[in-house]
Amino acid sequence: MNKQDYKDPAKDTNDKVVKSDTQWRQILTTEQYTVLRQKGTEPPYTGIYNDHFEKGVYHCAGCGQVLFQSEAKYPSHCGWPAFYDVQQEARIIRQTDQSYGMVRIEVLCSRCGGHLGHVFEDGPPPTGLRYCINSAALKFVDEKINPE
């Protein structure tokens, strides 16, 4: 695990986290670095949060920003943690990803620019969205946060 302090997640999404490649390598595990900084994908059904349904909050493993809440996590059986909603829309960036001969919508952390996963339109109500996120991009914390 990296050395980030998750107790004080960013309230201000304009508070960008910018680090050099060397710095990212120092604070992230190899797995986290591969996903977050090199847009890697962990093998399906292997991530630590794939079958994890505790109540709490999922932070970005790169910068600590709160991204998802356990209330929006559901068993998609797709092999990766799946959420039907983000904690705040401003905390993610969507961009078109045309790699591997597919057109997908990539999801990145708005604060550090880390790659999180992709969003698909085959999720459950109320959004119909499935945020398919790598476990390695997340850090779960057993806490409650006030609605913002």
Residues at the contact surface with Fe ion, assessed by CB under 5 A: 60, 62-63, 65, 109, 111-112, 114
Structure tokens at 21: 């490649």
Which lies closer to Fe ion via its Cβ, residue 32 or residue 65? 65
- Least separation in angstroms between residue 99's CB and Fe ion is 21
Catalytic pick from 63, 109, 112, 132? 132
- Least separation in angstroms between residue 126's CB and Fe ion is 26
- Least separation in angstroms between residue 59's CB and Fe ion is 8
CA distance 129 to 131: 6
Which lies closer to Fe ion via its Cβ, residue 45 or residue 88? 88
Which lies closer to Fe ion via its Cβ, residue 60 or residue 72? 60
Q: Is 78 a catalytic residue?
A: no
Active site residues per annotation: 132
